[in-house]
Structure 1
Amino acid sequence: MKNDSTIYDVAREAGVSIATVSRVMNHPERVAPVTRSRILSVMTRLDFSPSSEAVARARIGLKRVGVVAPFAWSYSFVQRIRGLSSHLSPREYEITTYSVENRSQLDSVFAMLSAGERVDGVVVMALPVDKEALMLFRRRGMPLVSLETRIKYVCSILSDNQEGGRIAAEYLLGKGFRHPAFLGEGGHPDYVVDSARSRFQAFSERLGAEGIEIPEEHMCFHYTGADYARGAARKLISGKFLPDVVFAASDYEALILYRIARNAGLQVPGNLAILGYDNIEAAEFIGLSTVDQQLDESGRLAAEMIELAFRGSFGQIPEVIRLPVTLIERDTA
């Protein structure tokens, strides 16, 4: 493996012009994906690194941080962004949000941001970063932090969804509930972290250890969106047997269920108890019992890690930060 490889070596091995190699380093979004992938593979094989001058151009001090997230309108993501803002805004950084809805869009956003001309650093929420995208960020010296997804060699801030599911089950068992149901999003595309499934799996396994099985009709997974969540909630409370408690995979779904149950004449928690997940700000307003995964704190920590990278203090940035999940008991369960 060569340690003194030049841009000329990369161009020759990849069968492209020097200009095309330069474009991959400076404007990767302008290079066809197949060609870009081939050039990046050659760079790795030759152990080629751009000059310090090129890396410096990627860090031009825009005072702007990019946030890439699926469904960036969701309450949990908004609250994480609030945590980011609490640290970055006083330091005069702007936050630009990029909401992605499919794999192709995700790849395009990563290629665009890694060029280093729009943002100084990137926070990725609940999304994977493939090897090609990771290589692009590294070649440009672009700081990267991941929330909710473990990415090797990238500072990843995580909460344990399975532990959250177990905590929920143990709390409800302790309260004497024996006929639970689950409400959560399902059918996520492969590029999105499926937190709801992880929470459900641990929740149902813990209940199963006590001999309690969740009937199939009380496992309500729905597509992303408020209309689908409302449909699933109505189906849950209109079945032949009403569960005594519903564990919702997010506070947003729990709030939807709360309103629908109340409109149907059910008392919460008298006829139906509800436990949410996230501890968004609105949860406290209605007294929603929930599992707190420290959304604001995760965003604040991401901002802090990005700022350390801007300063070049890489030795102070851990590869993994794990935030505890805790149960918040209020009125609904």
Structure 2
Amino acid sequence: MVASIEDVARRAGVSIATVSRALRGLPDVAAGTRDRVLTAATELNYVASPFAARLASGRTATIGLVVPFVNRWFFAEVIDSVEAELRRAGLDLLLYNLGSEEGRKRFFDEMPMRKRVDGVLVASLVLEDAEFEALTALNRPVGLLGIQRDGFLSAGIDDVAAAQSAVTHLTGLGHRRIGLIGGDTDDPMRFTPPLHRRDGYRQSLADADIDFDPALERLGYFTVEGGQAATRYFLDLPERPTALFAESDEMAYGALREIHRSGLQAGVDIAVMGFDDQPYAELMDLSTVRQPVSVQALDVTTRLLALIAGPDDELPREPAVVLPTELVLRASTEGGV
């Protein structure tokens, strides 16, 4: 039979409250009393309930993570990295997958994590002022991944600059007709990368004195199938692009599949550039932008935990951290024009 805190209290001849204070090492317990409690706990093989300890300390030992989707590579990497760091720190993860505009509205209206978490992480959502106010009203530290806001911890990359570097490489190879396979810029979840990476693409074209052509932009919805459909559209144009920039590796995989299906060769007949450097990118010889997803998630998580452990009014230095990306060149962009 597992010993309870009541058993320890009876063995030591003290109250349950005294046992709780003694086992937590609080200073208002006499040394002799603490020794009796520790001896009784050892003799009974008593193990304190983590849940009870959390309640006693006023902490939940839980961090909330809010994501717009769970079925995309980026968010799967974020969830895995955050959960691993929290597990290492002995904390729990409470995941909120918004999933839709309706789910998002319900979450920020009801704030179901209220009193259930010690801190909150929000991944890649463009938040409205009212949503920031709802988070602030929790009176818990908040960390942002992929977005910045004064007064909040954040970690991310510069999506605009990263996309510019990718497209500038293509223009440097002599490409003038460069198609963009983008995410859903009208997504009601207002996921940030599609907007910023499109801006980087357009800025790079302007820097190279290439006129903007709306016919060379097509949505791929961050899926392999969407990337394949967008590429089919580009290949059917009277004057097809000589290069494609996909805002994610999934869409670039679809582009590579359609190019092969059409009897063409990526890197020879048409260049393809992705974004992320997912595990299969190297296998498929895909040039891409490498972004450190796990490092971003780890950075903001560790700083959030430090803020929770420190004074409530002390925001760690450098609350907004921008991590570098890297252009990784492979066979899919080998040839120029």
For the aligned pair, the TM-score class normalised by the smaller chain equals 0.7 to 0.9
Work out whether 1:264 is the aligned partner of 2:265. no
In the TM superposition, what are the counterparts of 1:244-255 in structure 2 within 5 Å?
244-255=242-253
Equivalent residues of 1:128, 1:151 under 8 A apart: no
Equivalent residues of 1:57, 1:116 under 8 A apart: no
Q: Identify which of 82, 90, 94 aligns with 2:88.
A: 90
Equivalent residues of 2:153, 2:304 under 8 A apart: no
Counterpart code for 2:202? S
- What's the secondary structure of 2:296's corresponding residue? helix
2:114 alignment counterpart: 115
> Distance between the aligned counterparts of 1:80 and 1:195, measured in 2?
15
1:239 to 1:173, Cα distance in 2 relative to 1, 3 A: same
Counterpart code for 1:160? D
- What's the secondary structure of 1:183's corresponding residue? strand
> Distance between the aligned counterparts of 1:169 and 1:92, measured in 2?
43
1:21 alignment counterpart: none
- What's the secondary structure of 1:72's corresponding residue? coil
1:218 alignment counterpart: 216
Q: Identify which of 239, 242, 245 aligns with 1:241.
A: 239
Residue ranges of structure 2 left out of the alignment (5+ in a row): 1-53
> Distance between the aligned counterparts of 1:216 and 1:286, measured in 2?
29
Q: Identify which of 66, 69, 75 aligns with 2:67.
A: 69
- What's the secondary structure of 1:202's corresponding residue? helix
Work out whether 1:153 is the aligned partner of 2:151. yes
> Distance between the aligned counterparts of 2:55 and 2:139, measured in 1?
9
State the 1:254 CA deviation.
Answer: 0.8
| Residues paired across the two proteins, number | 277
1:63-92 deviations in Å (ceiling 9; x for gaps):
333221112211112222233234223223
- Larger deviation: 302-311 or 97-106? 97-106
1:102-154 deviations in Å (ceiling 9; x for gaps):
3442243243344122x332211111344444444444432211111222311
> Distance between the aligned counterparts of 1:58 and 1:278, measured in 2?
44
1:300-320 deviations in Å (ceiling 9; x for gaps):
112212211231264435321
Work out whether 1:105 is the aligned partner of 2:100. no
1:120 to 1:174, Cα distance in 2 relative to 1, 3 A: same
Work out whether 1:328 is the aligned partner of 2:319. no
Counterpart code for 2:293? L
Equivalent residues of 2:222, 2:250 under 8 A apart: no
- What's the secondary structure of 2:65's corresponding residue? strand
Equivalent residues of 1:186, 1:222 under 8 A apart: yes
State the 1:247 CA deviation.
Answer: 0.6
2:318 alignment counterpart: 318
State the 1:286 CA deviation.
Answer: 1.7
State the 1:189 CA deviation.
Answer: 3.4
2:186 alignment counterpart: 188
Question: Larger Rg: 1 or 2?
Answer: 2
TM-score (norm 1): 0.74
Equivalent residues of 2:307, 2:315 under 8 A apart: no
Equivalent residues of 1:182, 1:246 under 8 A apart: yes
Equivalent residues of 1:86, 1:300 under 8 A apart: no
Q: Please report the RMSD computed on the Cα atoms of aligned residues, expressed in angstroms.
A: 2.7
State the 1:210 CA deviation.
Answer: 2.2
In the TM superposition, what are the counterparts of 1:127-206 in structure 2 within 5 Å?
127-206=125-204
2:6 alignment counterpart: none
1:285 to 1:87, Cα distance in 2 relative to 1, 3 A: farther
> Distance between the aligned counterparts of 1:58 and 1:240, measured in 2?
71
Q: Identify which of 272, 275, 288 aligns with 2:273.
A: 275
1:273 to 1:141, Cα distance in 2 relative to 1, 3 A: same
Equivalent residues of 2:224, 2:252 under 8 A apart: no
Equivalent residues of 1:80, 1:297 under 8 A apart: no
Equivalent residues of 2:177, 2:243 under 8 A apart: yes
State the 1:260 CA deviation.
Answer: 2.0
1:309 alignment counterpart: 307
- What's the secondary structure of 1:105's corresponding residue? helix
1:280 to 1:222, Cα distance in 2 relative to 1, 3 A: closer
1:234 to 1:63, Cα distance in 2 relative to 1, 3 A: farther
Equivalent residues of 1:188, 1:194 under 8 A apart: no
Residue ranges of structure 1 left out of the alignment (5+ in a row): 1-55
Equivalent residues of 2:219, 2:226 under 8 A apart: no
> Distance between the aligned counterparts of 2:145 and 2:94, measured in 1?
16
State the 1:275 CA deviation.
Answer: 0.5
State the 1:201 CA deviation.
Answer: 2.3
> Distance between the aligned counterparts of 1:174 and 1:284, measured in 2?
22
TM-score (norm 2): 0.73
2:29 alignment counterpart: none
2:49 alignment counterpart: none
> Distance between the aligned counterparts of 2:201 and 2:97, measured in 1?
30
- What's the secondary structure of 1:277's corresponding residue? coil
2:11 alignment counterpart: none
